[in-house]
């Protein structure tokens, strides 16, 4: 949400000063820093404890008042550590996860359409370029406050057991906001749409992973998330081009 709020006016400034080629080069250079950040991420290295393999070493570590009986220690190195699967497709046997994947696929068909087409739509309605670019910033600013607020509400003891229903309400709210966007023909109407869309967008973003965790559990969450994002990517590729110009 922070990047969304800042990118639109920044992109308009770069477009006016450097053209679309120069603007894309500068924006690409900024995004390239994500590769640098990802390259420095490494798994945490834990210090391994020394394995006591003989009774003599163990006796030396015991306090003086300990007994002198023979101590036998067995160290078995025959077993090799099992490799962890990158993706566990067995989670697809969960019918709840299948329903969640289908729902998210349908959602992302239209979830990103407003953020992609909003500026051009506003320009077609006669809105100046700077004001049209600011509409995305409104969505980003509202999203910044909507996510933590929704997280606090979802944490309430009488809301948390009904998290799937709360998430369904957020999806319904987002869908109705998209439907009503067609009635916005002036700048004031577009601003109102951006406020409600940013609110519903933040609600969906704050609740989606919490609901997924409740469906598959903590142990299978990483595999389930990878599969969900895989199917979502297909929906994102289909949705915006299908919406037209």
Q: Encode pLDDT of 79-124 as tens digits.
A: 555 555 666 778 888 888 999 999 999 988 888 888 888 888 888 8
Mean pLDDT in residue range 137-152: 89
The answer to which of 44-48, 131-135, 165-169, 210-214 has the lowest mean pLDDT is: 44-48
**Hey, what are 62's tokens?**
């015991």
Report which of residues 101 and 16 the model is more confident about.
101
Distance of CA 157 to the CA centre of its chain: 24
The C-alpha atoms of residue 105 and residue 143 are separated, in whole angstroms, by: 21
Q: Give the domains, in start order, of the chain with CATH numbers.
A: 1-39 (no CATH), 84-243 (1.20.1250)
pLDDT at 55 over 60: no
Secondary structure letter of residue 40 according to DSSP: T
pLDDT at 199 over 90: yes
Distance of CA 76 to the CA centre of its chain: 42
Q: Encode pLDDT of 56-77 as tens digits.
A: 555 566 566 555 555 555 555 5
By the 10 Å C-beta count (0-12 exposed, 13-18 middle, 19+ buried), 132 is classed as buried
């Amino acid at each position: 949400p922070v990047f969304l709020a800042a990118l639109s006016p920044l992109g308009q400034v770069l477009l006016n000063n450097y053209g679309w080629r120069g603007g894309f080069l500068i924006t690409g250079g900024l995004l390239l820093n994500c590769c640098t950040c990802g390259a420095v991420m490494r798994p945490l290295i834990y210090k391994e404890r020394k394995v006591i393999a003989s009774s003599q070493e163990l006796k030396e570590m015991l306090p003086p008042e300990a007994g002198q009986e023979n101590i036998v220690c067995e160290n078995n190195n025959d077993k090799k550590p099992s490799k962890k699967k990158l993706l566990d497709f067995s989670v697809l046997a969960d019918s709840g996860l299948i329903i969640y994947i289908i729902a998210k696929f349908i959602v992302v068909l239209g979830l990103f359409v407003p953020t992609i087409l909003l500026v051009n739509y506003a320009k077609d309605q006669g809105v100046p370029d700077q004001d049209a670019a600011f509409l995305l910033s409104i969505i980003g600013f509202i999203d910044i406050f909507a996510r933590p607020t929704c997280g606090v509400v979802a944490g309430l003891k009488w809301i948390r057991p009904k998290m799937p229903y709360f998430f369904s309400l957020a999806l319904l709210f987002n869908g109705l906001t998209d439907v009503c966007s067609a009635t916005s023909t002036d700048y004031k109407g577009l601003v109102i749409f951006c406020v409600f869309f940013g609110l519903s967008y933040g609600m969906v973003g704050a609740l989606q992973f919490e609901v997924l965790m409740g469906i598959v559990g903590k142990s299978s969450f990483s595999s389930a998330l990878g599969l969900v994002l895989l199917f979502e990517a297909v929906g994102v590729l289909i949705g915006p081009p299908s919406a037209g110009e």
